[in-house]
Amino acid sequence: MSMTSKTNRRRFIGQSAALTAGVGYFAGTSLAQDESPSALNSLSAACIGVGGKGGSDTSHIANQGVNIAALCDVDRDTLAKKGREFKDAQQFDDFREMLDKMGDKVDIVTCSTPDHTHAAACVKAMNMGKHIYCQKPMTWSIREARLMRETAEKTGVITQMGNQGTSEDGLREAVEVIQSGAIGDVSEIHIFSNRPVWPQGGGRPEGEDPVPSSLNWDAWIGPAPMRPFVKGAYHSFNWRGWVDFGTGALGDMACHTTNMPVKALQLWDPIAVTAVKNPGIVEGEQYPGSSSLMFEFPEREGADGKTLPPCKFYWYDGGNLPPESIISQLPAGFQKKIQAQRDGGQKRSGAVIVGSKGLVFSPDDYGAKYYLLPEDKFVDFKKPEPWLPRIPFKASGDERHKWEFVSTIKGEYEPGTMSNFGYAGRLTETILVGNLAMRAGEGQRIEWNAKELMSPNVEAVNQFVQREYRDGWNLG
């Protein structure tokens, strides 16, 4: 690519939000003030949620040469700890205040908070013209995922969801293998997860504890209904199991484990979902300790324009497993691990894509490793010529994911982010339909109209497609 075309691409990226939406989104930002390549290679970020996964997300962005200008965390102890790494970054315990004060000083916003605050932070930041790196699942609700996708398209900002397996060469190769027809027509997918690894299946704890002086509890609750603080119940790790804050085992891992088959087989917009095993939402508060779901997909157009046959996708968590007819086809070594699980040992994860000519099996949560089965049938198999781009940066999958994001913003990586919100939004919408099934009775088939985001036959679940935000919180 010539220097002229590189510069033009940088200028396009910097201006696209304002041009697409017809308003001056970038007015007053560093990108609008100076569109030179040197300015666009000196990016600044504001990072929301800087403990745990957010801690590594912040550091990984910095490793790509991005200046960390602001840190935000509701826990001021966590904030102070990360602040020792980025001494010049301004510190905030409420992302609304941070975006209001730092909006003209940053180009990128990262969001690594609990699921229920992703949309409130990211929609506001996108409307300010900020490029967004957001952890998976993209949102807490289905409607929020649709809004995030639409907002990204409207503003033209660069986006990436944190399902880092997307940046693995192995996942991209597996997609190509499946799309090449190596295993024939796919009729079933079975994905099992070792989640949850946090409490699920109980009700709300009684009583309340004093809110620690270091914690902004109001900001942690965010747009969800207010509830008393209980030590260890929600903050800082166990929030995933609570309906008001997390999306359960499905929301935590399906954006990773289903990523490869979803991309390979265009598994968008299920027409129905059924909770095959469904202990139900406990007291309306917590996801069940285990569940099994079945998604139904109709005939649809594949990546090559050809028609793909109907497909069923089965999800298992909390120790549930695919039937023996599936397990028995997996490598002997992995079958031993499954038997150990049945005997009370460590829970396993895996993805099995069932085709008319064979199987693709991945024991990797990120789809980065895969096997063609039965092995003897594929001894002489030749991989198709690659057609998906490969990321040239050599590092961990997580860091490659950040490289793809930052390099796209700089205009130095032409293919762009693969898990952008156009893709990740559809993936998140699809996955979260499964949580609606847990609101219904076991075996209840919920028909789904993906275009309208509603069930035409079980109207009771439609109230959970979105929710009203608590006063003081909004999407905008």
pLDDT digits (tens, 9 = 90+) for 298-329: 999 998 899 999 999 999 999 999 999 999 99
SS3 200: coil
Amino acid 6: pLDDT: 37
> What's the whole-number average pLDDT of the chain?
92
Q: Up-side HSE of residue 189: CA atoms within 13 Å toward CB? A: 28
Amino acid 228: pLDDT: 97
Task: Write the pLDDT tens digit of every residue in 411-431.
Answer: 999 999 999 999 999 999 999
Amino acid 326: pLDDT: 98
* Superfamily holding 168-203+247-380+425-464: Dihydrodipicolinate Reductase; domain 2 (3.30.360.10)
DSSP letter at 449 equals B
Q: Give the DSSP H or E segment for 425.
A: helix 421-437
The average pLDDT across 338-345 equals 97
SS3 assignment for 385-414? CCCCCCCCCCCCHHHHHHHHHHHHHHCCCC
**How far is Cα 197 from Cα 289, in angstroms, rounded to an integer?**
10
Distances (CA, A) of 3 to 301, 393, 410: 38, 21, 13
**How far is Cα 353 from Cα 359, in angstroms, rounded to an integer?**
6
Does residue 374 register a pLDDT over 50?
A: yes
Does residue 10 register a pLDDT over 70?
A: no
**How far is Cα 119 from Cα 149, in angstroms, rounded to an integer?**
10
**How far is Cα 264 from Cα 284, in angstroms, rounded to an integer?**
35
**How far is Cα 8 from Cα 466, in angstroms, rounded to an integer?**
40
Structure pTM?
0.91
Per the CB < 8 A criterion, the answer to whether 106 and 396 are in contact is no
Model confidence band, residue 89 (pLDDT cutoffs 50, 70, 90): very high
Amino acid 466: pLDDT: 97
Does residue 179 register a pLDDT over 90?
A: yes
Range of weakest confidence among 40-49, 228-237, 287-296:
40-49
Per the CB < 8 A criterion, the answer to whether 50 and 112 are in contact is yes
- Residue labelled with tokens 């439609």: 462
Model confidence band, residue 170 (pLDDT cutoffs 50, 70, 90): very high
Domain residue ranges in the chain = 3-165+399-421, 168-203+247-380+425-464
Does residue 30 register a pLDDT over 50?
A: no
Model confidence band, residue 441 (pLDDT cutoffs 50, 70, 90): confident
Range of weakest confidence among 38-47, 125-134, 219-228:
38-47
Helices 397-410 & 3-21 angle (0-180, nearest 10): 90
Higher pLDDT, 331 or 441: 331
Amino acid 261: pLDDT: 97
Does residue 17 register a pLDDT over 60?
A: no
Six token digits for residue 132 = 């967004």
Does residue 32 register a pLDDT over 70?
A: no
Q: Which CATH number applies to 3-165+399-421? A: 3.40.50.720
Amino acid 214: pLDDT: 98
Amino acid 239: pLDDT: 97
DSSP letter at 1 equals -
Amino acid 41: pLDDT: 55
Does residue 132 register a pLDDT over 80?
A: yes
Q: Which of 28-32, 203-207, 272-276 has the highest mean pLDDT?
A: 272-276
Does residue 37 register a pLDDT over 80?
A: no
Amino acid 1: pLDDT: 41
Phi, psi of 352 (to 5 degrees): -125, 120
The average pLDDT across 274-296 equals 95
Amino acid 476: pLDDT: 81
In percent, how much of the chain has pLDDT > 70?
91
- Residue labelled with tokens 């550091």: 59
Taking the CA atoms of residue 275, residue 278, residue 284 and residue 287 in that order, the dihedral angle to the nearest 10 degrees is: -90
Compute CA 419 distance to the chain's CA centroid, rounded to the nearest angstrom. Answer: 9
Amino acid 281: pLDDT: 94
- Residue 92 corresponds to which amino acid? F
Burial class (CB in 10 A: 0-12, 13-18, 19+), 59: middle
Q: What angle do CA 174, 258, 249 make, to 5 degrees?
A: 150
Render 54-120 in DSSP notation, one character per residue: HHHHHHHHHHTT-EEEEEE-SBHHHHHHHHTTSTTSEEES-HHHHHHHHTTT-SEEEE-S-GGGHHH
